[in-house]
Structure 1
Amino acid sequence: MSTLAEPVEVAAGYRAGRTLPIRVELVRQLKRRRTLVMGGILFALPFVLLIAFQVGGEPGGRNQGVNLMDTATLSGANFAAVNLFASAGFLLVVPVALFCGDTVASEASWSSLRYLLAAPVPRARLLWSKLVVGLGLSLAAMVLLPLVALAVGTVAYGWGPLELPTGGSLAAGTAAQRLVITVAYIFVSQLITAALAFWLSTRTDAPLGAVGGAVGLTIVGNVLDQVTALGDWRDFLPAHWQYAWLDAVRPQLEWSDMIQGASVSVTYALVLFALAFRGFARKDVVS
């Protein structure tokens, strides 16, 4: 004859879903020095580029061709687009890897992870809170840069249409919409870096290992994308589509490459996020 399982006793008022609220985790991460330093770097970049253009003169003077960088001083919208172009390949990878790769590993390195789990915070809840905050800070970093660049560029070069390097222009309102699309695509394309860093963060007690590993593998992907001998195999590399957002700064908006790049990044990211949750659920946490 079967017997009913013994009920599990929990403290009065305990709700697993209320442990480690996202707002608490967000405040904790915002107060950390690495968050402030990274925010300061992204805030300062437009000023650095502005000084570079002031010292070096008009961009494109020594180039035979015309590209997006050559239009930087034509309007605030152009200056914002150039800041994204200059930083999307590497600089914006760093905050994503930092905010998503440092989050769990840092708790382990401080020997506080086991105490969080003993609170008790369910493992899935802990990962979910940290992942949401990590992605939120990554998105905030990507929004901060073009916003500051747009403000700095507008003061320096005036508010006007987005002048296209191929000829023609986009009205200021349309340009603002295209910049929003650009930031959204860059964020989606960086989900693979976020997922890789987050997975590594659940596998190691060394935050630098998780962050450095994610950045390093991203660089490897960029290098492999330059190997033309790989042919169509490069289509499966997220790095192959990292500049697909340039289709958003053309007279006619093209979606095909951005859709393909987003699908590649999201697919890899979902697999890595699933591995992170699955592996952490079975991990023997001793630190």
Structure 2
Amino acid sequence: MSALTQSAPGYRARRTLPFLVETVRQLKRRRTLVMGLVLALLPFVLAAAFAVGGTPGGADGQLTLMATATRSGANFAATALFVSAGFLLVVPVALFCGDTVASEASWSSLRYLLAAPVPRSRLLLSKLLVALWMSAAAMVVLPLVALAVGTAAYGGGPLELPTGGQLPLGQALPRLALVVAFVFVSQLVTAGLAFWLSTKTDAPLGAVGGAVGLTIIGNVLDAVTALGDWRQFLPAHWQFAWIDALQPQLEWSGMLKGSAVSVAYALVLFALAFRGFARKDIVS
């Protein structure tokens, strides 16, 4: 083996930038603390709003998820997910995934990481896994805090279903866990957009803002009914398919279709990120 192809004694590419090390680095970031604080405070804000405004009611006496918010802790957690899934939960996903590579480039530390040497694919994989883990954690923090706040404020009764009927708490908790899992899967498109943009720019806010902006555009396009069946190819079309989990009989079809669309888009975007970054000139 020539001197040019030899590696330093003890060097193992798979041991560079370990998952735990990258996780600790990201947890120490101020934006992580701020995002976690915002998500943890939202249930308290909702509870205060209900305390000031009174018990919510549906239009024309119609039973809705919002109208059942104060019936139990489980209902309060479901309502917190409902009001935040459309936009608020998009932000931490875009932030954690869009800030991965671009932040290193903006600090001029990316080239030093690669010179360590950390293989490019290894660096991207480590950062992507940590970003997805932190995004999933953000999805879990909100309903957990909401469940605790709602139980303290409204009791631990059954989950009142918008379609009528109830689910005992023992059945309601797995349903809420399924809702959280689907919300995370549906946000994989935003994660893919943010991660891909993060490999294309040295401005973290550009990657984060671009992912959020494109997600909003998808929501707008889904509202254009003239598109007809073409809307079914938009991830935004299925973002509230988890409502099917809050029925007496669990309905899977909408969530399965939405998951398939989201995963397909995400895989393409992740592949583009890895392919582009492998050929990119790193100057910062």
> TM-score scaled to structure 2, two decimals?
0.98
Match 2:181 to one of 179, 184, 190 = 184
1:126 maps to amino acid: L
Runs of 4+ with deviation above 2 angstroms: 4-7, 61-66
Pick the aligned partner of 1:158 from 155, 160, 166: 155
The one-letter amino acid of 2:224's match is V
In structure 2, the residue matched to 1:214 is 211
C-alpha separation between the residues in 1 aligned to 2:63 and 2:227?
29
Aligned residue for 1:20, secondary structure, equals coil
Work out the number of aligned pairs and report it: 284
Matched, 1:59 2:47: no
Q: 1:90 aligns with which of 71, 87, 109?
A: 87
Percent identity reads 76
Partner of 2:122: 125
1:184-235 deviation per Cα after TM superposition (whole angstroms, max 9, x unaligned): 0000000000001000000000000000000000000000000000000000
Asked if 1:34 corresponds to 2:21, the answer is no
Does the 8 A contact of 2:58 with 2:64 survive in 1? Answer: no
Cα distance per residue 1:90-149 (max 9 Å; x no partner): 000000000000111000000000000000000000000000000000000000000000
Query: Is the contact made by 2:105 and 2:202 (CA closer than 8 Å) also made in structure 1?
Result: yes
Residue deviations 1:16-51 (CA, integer Å, cap 9, x gap) = 000000100000000000000000000000000000
Alignment-derived partner of residue 106 in structure 1: 103
Task: Report the Cα distance in structure 2 between the residues aligned to 1:87 and 1:63, rounded to whole angstroms.
Answer: 24
Deviation at 1:6, TM superposition (A): 6.7
CA pair 257-11 structure 1, distance change in 2 beyond 3 A: same
Match of 1:276 among 273, 276, 279: 273
Q: Quote the offset at 1:9 in angstroms.
A: 1.5
Tell me how far apart the structure 1 counterparts of residues 75 and 184 of structure 2 sit (CA, whole Å).
20
For 1:272, give the aligned amino acid: L
Separation in 2 of the partners of 1:69 and 1:123?
A: 47
Name stretches of at least 5 consecutive residues in structure 1 with no aligned partner: none
The TM-score, its normalising length taken from structure 1, stands at: 0.97
- Look up the match of 1:265: 262
Secondary structure (helix, strand or coil) at the match of 1:10 reads coil
For 2:60 and 2:120, how far apart are their aligned partners in 1?
55
Pick the aligned partner of 2:245 from 245, 248, 257. Answer: 248
How far apart, CA to CA, are the structure 2 residues paired with 1:49 and 1:88?
Answer: 15
Decide which of 77, 91, 95 is 1:80's aligned counterpart. 77
Give a deviation string over 1:154-213, Cα, whole Å, max 9, x none.
000011110112210001011000001000000000000000100000000000000000
| CA-CA distance at 1:66 after TM superposition | 2.2
Question: For the residues of structure 1 that align with 2:148 and 2:207, how far apart are their CA atoms?
Answer: 34
Structure 2 residue 106 is matched with structure 1 residue 146: no
CA RMSD of aligned residues (A): 1.1
1:65 Cα shift? 2.5
1 CA distance for matches of 2:253 and 2:39? 30
Does residue 234 (structure 1) correspond to residue 231 (structure 2)? The answer is yes
